[in-house]
A and B are shown apart, each in its own frame.
Chain A
């Protein structure tokens, strides 16, 4: 289940691209999930550990992947950390849900992400644990927690 904390969390990794640059493993891009998201989101093909190729840039290393793909790879490979998924566009939402299908993943979110109409997540601000499946309810919770007077993100 995906557990979302809206807003700043003391243990979150906010700048996931920076964290990725310092902690990535070159083998992370070699599995089927990584190849799939790199193809779909970044229009690129994995050639070898830390070697990716696309039509525009030729070959490049995995620190040049998009912030969204890096965040997905971090979530997959370091599931005990809390990553900020506001580094991910809406085109990453289905993959975040996929990663959370068979295990609990805790993330922070600083904007309203569109998960579509078919999802189940938990919003864990204030210790609440209710499962949310209604897009309107998720939107209103996002609005409630991110638009507080003292919120700075």
Chain B
């Protein structure tokens, strides 16, 4: 499934509107905002249709996945919006993470738990904001990333990645005599931040897969032991594609303007994996830019001074 999916669920008392722009959406936040109400209404409609008294408008079937036979139900569910409620014990299991990989559904998980085994975006974490009978469902993390890191005004840089992205940012920071370390994965970033002796730190990570970690990172940042800036492009490969290096490629520009219309959930569990695939595909015949799918190396073409500047500043590109 690909493309934006909009749904409206309402009864006599309350109306929820939800836009899904990715295959995985998390609804979290305070108690008493209506998360369970939303799930209950979807469940009632899926059981009884209009006869439930609930109206649900969506171009795809909507179900609540629950109970012991969830695996069988999921195997037989296609091109649907699948909701999973808070306190559903399989939600945090590795078996569930494996089962939803490369499926053609979109998923809405109501939970506060960080689902570290599932790559979901910072951008897809939402909360319900009370607003009488028409609550709003909004993104929680807005404008949390700096747009440019030119001149690297930091004591040190921590990069989530240990491969191509780390090679790139190490080289880019070197010019400004700023040291760069790899956290060695998203689950190690908080520990790397805490261990760092630097006072002013730049943390670089892929927003497309950072969802499970972001609450802890933002909390640590807000506690204020250190000054921390976050640089969170969709992914390192997205940043490269957005740079002037590929500005003459109209197909890339078109995809970047509306990725949701191009990323098939059955093929790519996260946008980060799609952009890696796209970059490796469009550079396969360009020796100096040929990007390896396993990201193990970074071709020299990306490390020229002009291209470093171009990539570093790409977040500002329209």
Contact of B32 among A18, A41, A58, A111 (CB under 8 A): A41
What 6 new A-B contacts, CB under 8 Å, besides A14-B89, A111-B215, A152-B92?
A43-B32, A136-B194, A143-B216, A147-B114, A153-B89, A153-B91
Residue numbers in A under 8 Å from B220 (CB-CB): 136, 139
What sequence of 0s and 1s flags, for each residue 125-153 of chain A, a beta carbon within 8 Å of any chain B beta carbon?
00000000001100110110011000011
Residue numbers in A under 8 Å from B86 (CB-CB): 17, 67, 86-87
Residue numbers in B under 8 Å from A42 (CB-CB): 31-32
> Is there contact, CB below 8 Å, between A14 and B87?
yes
Does A22 sit at the interface, judged by CB under 8 A? no
By secondary structure, the B interface counts as loop
> Which residues of A (6-65) have their CB < 8 Å from a CB of B?
14-18, 41-43, 55-58
- Closest CB of chain A to B42's CB: distance in Å? 16
Contact of A110 among B113, B190, B225 (CB under 8 A): B113
> Is there contact, CB below 8 Å, between B30 and A152?
no
A136 to B194, CA, bound (A): 9
> Is there contact, CB below 8 Å, between B113 and A153?
yes
> Is there contact, CB below 8 Å, between B36 and A67?
yes
> Is there contact, CB below 8 Å, between A67 and B87?
yes
When C-beta atoms are compared, the residue in chain A nearest to B91 turns out to be A153
Spell out B's residues near A (CB within 8 Å): 13-14, 29-33, 35-36, 86-89, 91-94, 112-114, 116-117, 130, 132-133, 187, 190-191, 194, 215-216, 219-220, 223, 225
> Is there contact, CB below 8 Å, between A92 and B194?
no
Residue numbers in A under 8 Å from B35 (CB-CB): 67
A117 to B190, CA, bound (A): 19
> Is there contact, CB below 8 Å, between A147 and B187?
yes
> Is there contact, CB below 8 Å, between B216 and A139?
yes
When C-beta atoms are compared, the residue in chain B nearest to A15 turns out to be B87
Residue numbers in A under 8 Å from B194 (CB-CB): 136, 140
What sequence of 0s and 1s flags, for each residue 80-103 of chain A, a beta carbon within 8 Å of any chain B beta carbon?
000010111111100000000000
Spell out A's residues near B (CB within 8 Å): 14-18, 41-43, 55-58, 66-69, 84, 86-92, 110-112, 114, 135-136, 139-140, 142-143, 146-147, 152-153
Contact of B31 among A69, A135, A146, A147 (CB under 8 A): A69
> Is there contact, CB below 8 Å, between A68 and B216?
no
Residue numbers in A under 8 Å from B30 (CB-CB): 41, 68, 89-91
Residue numbers in A under 8 Å from B89 (CB-CB): 14-15, 153
> Is there contact, CB below 8 Å, between B31 and A67?
yes
> Is there contact, CB below 8 Å, between B219 and A41?
no
Residue numbers in B under 8 Å from A110 (CB-CB): 92, 112-113
> Is there contact, CB below 8 Å, between B112 and A86?
yes
- Closest CB of chain A to B7's CB: distance in Å? 20
Residue numbers in B under 8 Å from A111 (CB-CB): 112-114, 215
- Closest CB of chain B to A65's CB: distance in Å? 8
- Closest CB of chain B to A9's CB: distance in Å? 13
A76 to B136, CA, bound (A): 32
Contact of B190 among A17, A88, A139 (CB under 8 A): A139
A12 to B172, CA, bound (A): 49
- Closest CB of chain A to B109's CB: distance in Å? 12
Q: Which 4 A-B pairs have the closest CB atoms?
A: A68-B31, A153-B92, A89-B30, A15-B87
Residue numbers in B under 8 Å from A92 (CB-CB): 31
A153 to B91, CA, bound (A): 9
